[in-house]
């Protein structure tokens, strides 16, 4: 069963362009916090805050290796988020179908 709190955390984590960029970067391979920070042009503290949000959502996992922290994509595959959006899209299509039927019925009445 989908946990609502998990979906909340997932969607909230994705609702930020910096965090999405970080995920795209980690999708190409693991990186240290400094390597993540550099192209983004933001402070290490800023990156760490975003990492915390991503870790809480299971989208990133980090590991302390010596003096640096290594980051990689976490275990979250976003299946539940994908399923929810798919469900919404089916509702949306059905609404359009409904409108279509309504217009067809109206046309029939107009004749």
The least CB distance from residue 111 to its own copies, in Å, is: 26
The least CB distance from residue 82 to its own copies, in Å, is: 5
Q: Which residues of 2-15 are buried (b: 16+ CB within 10 A; e: fewer)?
A: eeeeeeebbeebbe
Tell me which residues touch its own copies (CB under 8 A). 4, 7-12, 14-17, 20, 23-24, 27-29, 72-73, 77-78, 81-82, 84-89, 91-92, 94-95, 98
Nearer to its own copies, 6 or 67 (CB): 6
Cα–Cα distances in angstroms (integers) from residue 101 to residues 87, 88, 111, in the given order: 21, 20, 16
């Amino acid at each position: 069963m989908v946990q609502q709190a998990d979906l909340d955390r997932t969607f909230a984590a994705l609702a930020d362009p910096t965090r999405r960029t970080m995920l795209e970067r980690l999708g190409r391979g693991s990186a240290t916090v400094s390597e993540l920070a550099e192209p983004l042009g933001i402070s290490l503290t800023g990156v760490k805050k975003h990492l915390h949000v991503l870790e809480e959502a299971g989208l990133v996992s980090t590991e302390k290796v010596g003096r640096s922290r290594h980051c990689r994509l976490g275990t979250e595959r976003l299946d539940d988020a994908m399923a929810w959006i798919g469900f919404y899209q089916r509702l949306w299509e059905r609404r359009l179908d409904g409108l279509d039927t309504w217009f067809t019925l109206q046309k029939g009445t107009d004749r």
